[in-house]
Chains A and B, each alone.
Chain A
Amino acid sequence: MLRFIFTRLLQAIPVLLVVITVTFFLVRFAPGGPFDGERKVDPSVLKALEAQYNLDQPLITQYFSYLGDLIQGDLGPSFKYPGRSVNELIGAGFPITAELGIYAILVALAIGGCAGVLSALKPNSTRDYVSMSAAMIGICMPAFLLGPLLILIFGIWLEWLPVSGWGDLPGDKVLPSLTLGAVYAAYVARLSRGGMLEVLSQDYIRTARAKGLPEHVVILKHGLRAGMLPVVAYLGPAFAGILSGSFVIESVFQIHGLGRFYVLAAFNRDYTLIMGCTVFLAALIILFNLFSDVLAAYLNPRLRSQLGGKS
């Protein structure tokens, strides 16, 4: 198992390298320099600025010095927030985004998982139709539409919940978490329903019933683990989706998290910040994919023993 994790980590390194390289060169080849503001900057000032940010050196040197800094965990200074490093900005924004993401994943797993399993236990019942229709709405109602609608209904018309911010007013975390989690709850519901239905039709479930086990044991002990495998495999993509979804949610709810930084950086052409955020988010997503792979392998005894070492 450890070897499996280790090889997967090793495989992640080239992917990360590709991300860093592509990001670096894309940004460098982009039309328009970082200091092309509204006002024309004096050439001498520009030169000084470029020297300050190492932009006057050959591209390849810049690339390797960037890589070198990265290895030490230094993402460089921000172009647009003078005096602040990218590390600081990410450090300020990420805890908020992480909290939002965790709530969203919890919403997705709790609501989606329950709805999916309950539907699978009684396929084609009213309960099944209602939750699957809700899931379909979730899938077809993107966060940037659902968010404003929820604000309109619960924030403005009913005035039950705050419409913006994060941690400023009681209850202001409810709407963003729900909005971000909703789509993934819908996917999780469909996946877990499908997974459970598939498992419950297996011969070994019939064996478990033939043994006279109580129904809850049949479902929870014999069915759930295999039934949840598709959901576990989906965790990686879901996490990536939630991170990029936070761009929208944080804009809609005016939350000062990493997602909002990223979008602002994109508009401001704050190159070091974009690069820093991209590399940071990519690393996170790659790590989380790894985690969901490992978890899926761990839950599957056949895979686990193939990977060496019993149980």
Chain B
Amino acid sequence: MTSQAENLTNIDQFESGRSLWQDAWSRLKRNKLAIIGLSLLIFIGLVCILTPWIAPYSYEHQNLALGATPPSAQHWFGTDNLGRDLMTRVMYGGRVSLAVGLIATAVALTIGVTWGAIAGYTGGKVDTIMMRLVDIIYALPFMIFIVLLMVVFGRSLLLLFLAIGAVEWLTMARIVRGQVQTLRQLEFVEAAISIGLSKATIIRRHIIPNALGPVIVYTTLTIPNVMLLEAFLSFLGLGIQPPQSSWGVLISNGVEGMEEYPWLLIFPGLALSIVLFSLNFLGDGLRDALDVRASKD
């Protein structure tokens, strides 16, 4: 049991262990699909951020004389019937689609985590009431409500964020609550209580780091859901409105003329599908790497 390091007191001199995060990262790195997804996401994310500077044409640029042309050297993705460069439009549309995905997910994350954590940690009657409410809202047919909301209040982007965020937080709340409840009963949390740590410290040091895995995984998988929802609404004409556009709007426009101009459907569709693929593969990869089991509630 004794080692040559017997008399060392400087902790840093000892070899450090591998934390579970490091383990997870090395597992993730071995998952090729997840890494391809991550790289694609970083690439597409950068392109969308830099769009105003790197887009080949300006957003308003029209060339009515040119009309719809198939992909060419000047217009890699072709042009639409107003002679607008499709690549530029896809890039600008991506900004909106990704923004909706990220912001609505952030809304869902904030509400869901707070709600779930409070319900799970407090337990008892508070928990019962809070989760009962989630159950009731869960039972509401939300898709239909969102359509209704968009009809009634007009098609504002802010409302879209709120509406989508309001649907997606429910699952997040359930997941977090399940996690917290399981963790709360684990012996290391009891040990923390018996040491005399305060509630806040226990939550910060013992509960949150251990509940983070499923939250990360689920967040990654919520973004594609949100983007799909936005595209679905935009496709129906109930989401993003012209002159703004998103991939959903572009796909919707593309469908109208798809017999003559299939590229108008294919390129925005491809862009959306690639992002959805990447997010799903990354989410699955994270799920395996962080060893998150499907939560049952």
A and B touch in the complex (CB under 8 A): yes
Binary interface encoding of chain B residues 145-158 relative to chain A, with 1 for a CB under 8 A from any of its CBs, else 0: 10111111110000
B259 within 8 Å of A (CB atoms): yes
Measured in the bound complex, the distance between the Cα atoms of B150 and A18 in whole Å is 19
Measured in the bound complex, the distance between the Cα atoms of B272 and A251 in whole Å is 20
In the complex, what residues of B have CB within 8 A of residue A139's CB?
276, 280
B277 within 8 Å of A (CB atoms): yes
B277 touches A136 (CB 8 A): yes
Q: A interface, by DSSP: helix, strand, loop or mixed?
A: helix
Within 8 A of A (CB), among B74-130: none
Measured in the bound complex, the distance between the Cα atoms of B161 and A129 in whole Å is 36
B273 touches A140 (CB 8 A): yes
A140 touches B149 (CB 8 A): no
B276 touches A248 (CB 8 A): no
A149 within 8 Å of B (CB atoms): yes
Minimum Cβ distance to chain B for residue A187 (Å): 12
Partner of A144, one of B136, B143, B232: B232
Binary interface encoding of chain A residues 110-154 relative to chain B, with 1 for a CB under 8 A from any of its CBs, else 0: 000000000000000000000000001001111011001101100
Binary interface encoding of chain A residues 267-311 relative to chain B, with 1 for a CB under 8 A from any of its CBs, else 0: 101000010001001100110010000000000000000000000
Minimum Cβ distance to chain B for residue A121 (Å): 19
A149 touches B148 (CB 8 A): no
In the complex, what residues of B have CB within 8 A of residue A15's CB?
136, 139-140
Partner of A248, one of B141, B154, B232: B232
Minimum Cβ distance to chain B for residue A276 (Å): 12
B8 within 8 Å of A (CB atoms): no
B148 touches A278 (CB 8 A): yes
B258 touches A289 (CB 8 A): no
A251 touches B236 (CB 8 A): yes
Minimum Cβ distance to chain B for residue A233 (Å): 9
Measured in the bound complex, the distance between the Cα atoms of B142 and A285 in whole Å is 10
B273 touches A141 (CB 8 A): yes
A145 touches B272 (CB 8 A): yes
Within 8 A of B (CB), among A233-281: 240-241, 243-244, 247-248, 251-252, 262-263, 266-267, 269, 274, 278, 281
Q: B interface, by DSSP: helix, strand, loop or mixed?
A: helix
In the complex, what residues of B have CB within 8 A of residue A140's CB?
224, 273, 276-277, 280
A142 touches B262 (CB 8 A): no
A176 within 8 Å of B (CB atoms): no
B217 within 8 Å of A (CB atoms): no
A149 touches B236 (CB 8 A): no
B51 within 8 Å of A (CB atoms): no
A194 within 8 Å of B (CB atoms): yes
A12 within 8 Å of B (CB atoms): yes
B255 touches A23 (CB 8 A): no
Category for how many chain A residues contact B: 35 or more
A170 within 8 Å of B (CB atoms): no
- Given A19-B140, A248-B236, A281-B141: A156 and B259 within 8 A (CB)? yes
B144 touches A282 (CB 8 A): yes
A30 touches B152 (CB 8 A): yes
Measured in the bound complex, the distance between the Cα atoms of B235 and A51 in whole Å is 37
- Given A145-B273, A148-B258, A263-B236: A19 and B141 within 8 A (CB)? yes
Measured in the bound complex, the distance between the Cα atoms of B143 and A229 in whole Å is 25
Query: Whose C-beta in chain B lies nearest to the C-beta of A269?
Result: B151
B70 within 8 Å of A (CB atoms): no
B269 within 8 Å of A (CB atoms): yes
Measured in the bound complex, the distance between the Cα atoms of B252 and A22 in whole Å is 30
In the complex, what residues of A have CB within 8 A of residue B224's CB?
140
Query: Whose C-beta in chain B lies nearest to the C-beta of A15?
Result: B139
In the complex, what residues of B have CB within 8 A of residue A274's CB?
148, 151
A289 touches B139 (CB 8 A): yes
A152 touches B262 (CB 8 A): yes
Greatest chain A CB density within 10 A among B248, B254, B255 is at B255
A6 within 8 Å of B (CB atoms): no
- Given A145-B251, A252-B255, A266-B238: A27 and B152 within 8 A (CB)? yes
B237 within 8 Å of A (CB atoms): yes
In the complex, what residues of A have CB within 8 A of residue B269's CB?
145, 149
A31 within 8 Å of B (CB atoms): yes
- Given A144-B232, A148-B255: A240 and B136 within 8 A (CB)? no
Greatest chain B CB density within 10 A among A139, A148, A149, A156 is at A148
Measured in the bound complex, the distance between the Cα atoms of B154 and A267 in whole Å is 11
In the complex, what residues of B have CB within 8 A of residue A156's CB?
259
- Given A19-B141, A145-B273: A30 and B151 within 8 A (CB)? yes
B236 touches A18 (CB 8 A): no
Kindly list 12 other residue pairs between chains A and B, CB separation below 8 angstroms, not including A29-B152, A151-B258, A243-B143.
Answer: A14-B136, A15-B136, A31-B154, A136-B280, A142-B272, A148-B258, A240-B142, A240-B143, A248-B236, A251-B236, A269-B151, A278-B144
**Which A residues have a C-beta under 8 Å from some C-beta of B?**
12, 14-15, 18-19, 22-23, 26-27, 29-31, 136, 139-142, 144-145, 148-149, 151-152, 156, 194, 230, 240-241, 243-244, 247-248, 251-252, 262-263, 266-267, 269, 274, 278, 281-282, 285-286, 289
Q: Which 3 A-B pairs have the closest CB atoms?
A: A244-B143, A140-B276, A30-B152
* 24 interchain pairs, CB-CB under 8 A: A15-B136, A18-B140, A19-B140, A29-B152, A136-B277, A139-B276, A140-B276, A140-B280, A141-B273, A142-B228, A144-B232, A145-B251, A149-B269, A152-B265, A156-B259, A230-B294, A240-B141, A244-B147, A247-B147, A248-B236, A262-B147, A267-B151, A267-B237, A285-B141
